[in-house]
Chain A
């Protein structure tokens, strides 16, 4: 136990530090409790702001490299990484639509999931609605090769960089010399593994390659994801009227507290109180980053396994954080080793962040609801709920909110919109 006591000693010193910092910030009086809130409500409110910067990603060596972010931004907006030269990441992740596409399900692509917003995407622990990627860079790779999305092949993707001087120069500035792909017998013009049917010509072109050549292409491909992730890390929303309100509470500044309308303040009280939204939408990014099944009726395609199946997918993915292309395999192994295949994961999808939520309609994993009010009415009545027969039934009870409470909660959710965005991030770089 000696070691434990030593550790505790250090922690105690850190604790004193926290008190000292707080003392200067608040004049020793602690946060101000506005008259319309209880101290317990304010204690909960403070858990939601401020939001710090996105967490480090040690599995991506260039996660905070500005040159990598610029390359990633270029790749993000480039339709050249698609089968027919018309699809880029920005086709579905549209700045004017909350970095989503404004549709329940994308009309252009045969996929059965709502396009998730990319705001604050770098804060996630898992990626996609079902968490089948364990890093942002690994996530960014999958749509490129998915025949229902970009539909490019791995060789086309790396050749696009090799053959585009500016991309190639920017790539080499970040990742070093680009390998010579000019021998078409060793590196065919198109082809790849992934979802292509085995035996198809494009698949055969890939399997005919020597293993070291395939590995070289895989390395280039992984770096495409790492550059895109470095760019997406900048898509941060953390200075909304709600954050100004919390600053006001922390410092006793009434002018800042006025950043929330009276309706939004009532909605905030519901959020941390009667409506208990904080159960899953916890912390400063308003999500636990974990998975739940709230029984929303599917829009199409029936019930799906989602998180339950995704756990195997993320383990098998050669581009996961414990794989060959991770820059910190030990941390990836740690993350994946603790992951059980739980029965209760069946049908679960990830809790989305609520930051900028007013910009990202429609809502839910298949866009089942067009407005925030519709979402709140569902939680209020649970009308039409589909029970998958698992534990979430213990948590979900109809909130029985009246129409004024629904309007107030919606007003609060609208106060999570951050207008202070660096517009340069929302278009292709110069």
Chain B
């Protein structure tokens, strides 16, 4: 699957179409900082576009314990700029156990941090991705 992601990313980069997009090295899977969950996501469109709306489908897999009763929030910031998105995405649980975050938009090129904050039973862990927009 990653090969497909890379192939498409490269194709877009070569075409130089539109407004730029995510650098091809972007990871799609990471463990949360407390080690309790593995988060895996796919953006639509893929790769993440520069200054255009995108959605995320993602899964949150607990290392142990139930996968029910999780509260998940998604947000993103540009640490070097000291600001985040100009929008608040909406996260909804899907019937297949995955989640959807709708209404994301990274409006500037540069380094973004993408956060998935997972709360369960009073404890919150963060899974964090780096996204570099060209």
* B side interface size, CB within 8 A: 43
Query: Which residue from B8, B16, B51, B90 sits with its C-beta under 8 Å from A289?
Result: B51
**Which of B17-25, B63-71, B116-124 interfaces with chain A?**
B17-25
Give the complex CA separation of A424 and B110 in angstroms.
42
Give the complex CA separation of A73 and B12 in angstroms.
39
User: Which chain B residues (72-108) contact chain A, with CB distance < 8 Å?
Assistant: 80-83, 86-90, 96, 98, 102-103, 105, 107-108
Knowing A8-B4, A344-B83, A395-B81 are in contact, say whether A43-B51 is a contact too (CB < 8 A): no
**Which of A14-22, A183-191, A256-264 interfaces with chain B?**
A14-22
Q: Which residues of chain A are within 8 angstroms of B57 by Cβ–Cβ distance?
A: 3-4
Q: Are A44 and B134 in contact (CB under 8 A)?
A: yes
List the A residue with the shortest CB-CB distance to B59.
A1
- A-contact bits for B24-49, CB 8 A (1 contact / 0 none): 00000000000000001010111000
Q: Which residues of chain B are within 8 angstroms of A165 by Cβ–Cβ distance?
A: none
Chain A nearest CB, measured from B1 CB (Å): 6
List the A residue with the shortest CB-CB distance to B57.
A4
Give the complex CA separation of A282 and B106 in angstroms.
12
Residue among B40, B46, B107 with the most chain A CB within 10 A? B107
Chain A nearest CB, measured from B75 CB (Å): 10
Query: Which residue from A46, A279, A340 sits with its C-beta under 8 Å from B88?
Result: A340
With an 8 A cutoff between CB atoms, is A405 at the interface?
no
List the B residue with the shortest CB-CB distance to A5.
B1
Give the complex CA separation of A239 and B128 in angstroms.
42
Give the complex CA separation of A339 and B103 in angstroms.
9
Q: Which residues of chain B are within 8 angstroms of A288 by Cβ–Cβ distance?
A: 51, 107-108
Chain A contact-residue range equals 35 or more
Q: Are A283 and B46 in contact (CB under 8 A)?
A: no
Q: Which residues of chain A are within 8 angstroms of B50 by Cβ–Cβ distance?
A: 47, 282-283
Q: Which residues of chain A are within 8 angstroms of B81 by Cβ–Cβ distance?
A: 391-392, 394-395
With an 8 A cutoff between CB atoms, is A180 at the interface?
no
Q: Are A8 and B14 in contact (CB under 8 A)?
A: no
User: Which chain A residues (153-199) contact chain B, with CB distance < 8 Å?
Assistant: none
Query: Which residue from B7, B14, B107 sits with its C-beta under 8 Å from A30?
Result: B14
Q: Are B12 and A11 in contact (CB under 8 A)?
A: no
Knowing A280-B108, A283-B51, A337-B103 are in contact, say whether A342-B18 is a contact too (CB < 8 A): no
Give the complex CA separation of A8 and B20 in angstroms.
19
Knowing A290-B86, A337-B103 are in contact, say whether A19-B14 is a contact too (CB < 8 A): yes
With an 8 A cutoff between CB atoms, is A12 at the interface?
yes
Query: Which residue from B8, B18, B86, B105 sits with its C-beta under 8 Å from A291?
Result: B86
Q: Which residues of chain A are within 8 angstroms of B1 by Cβ–Cβ distance?
A: 5, 8
Q: Are A47 and B11 in contact (CB under 8 A)?
A: no
Give the complex CA separation of A51 and B105 in angstroms.
20
With an 8 A cutoff between CB atoms, is B62 at the interface?
no
Give the complex CA separation of A44 and B13 in angstroms.
10
- Sampled A-B contacts (20; CB under 8 Å): A5-B1, A7-B42, A9-B4, A19-B15, A31-B16, A44-B20, A44-B134, A46-B16, A47-B50, A283-B19, A283-B50, A288-B107, A289-B51, A337-B90, A338-B87, A338-B102, A339-B86, A340-B87, A345-B86, A392-B81
Task: Contacts A15-B7, A290-B86 known; list 5 others, CB within 8 Å.
Answer: A7-B42, A12-B7, A14-B8, A47-B134, A392-B83
Interface, chain A (partner B; CB < 8 A): 1, 3-5, 7-9, 11-12, 14-16, 18-19, 21-22, 30-31, 43-44, 46-47, 250, 278-280, 282-284, 288-291, 334, 337-340, 342, 344-345, 391-395
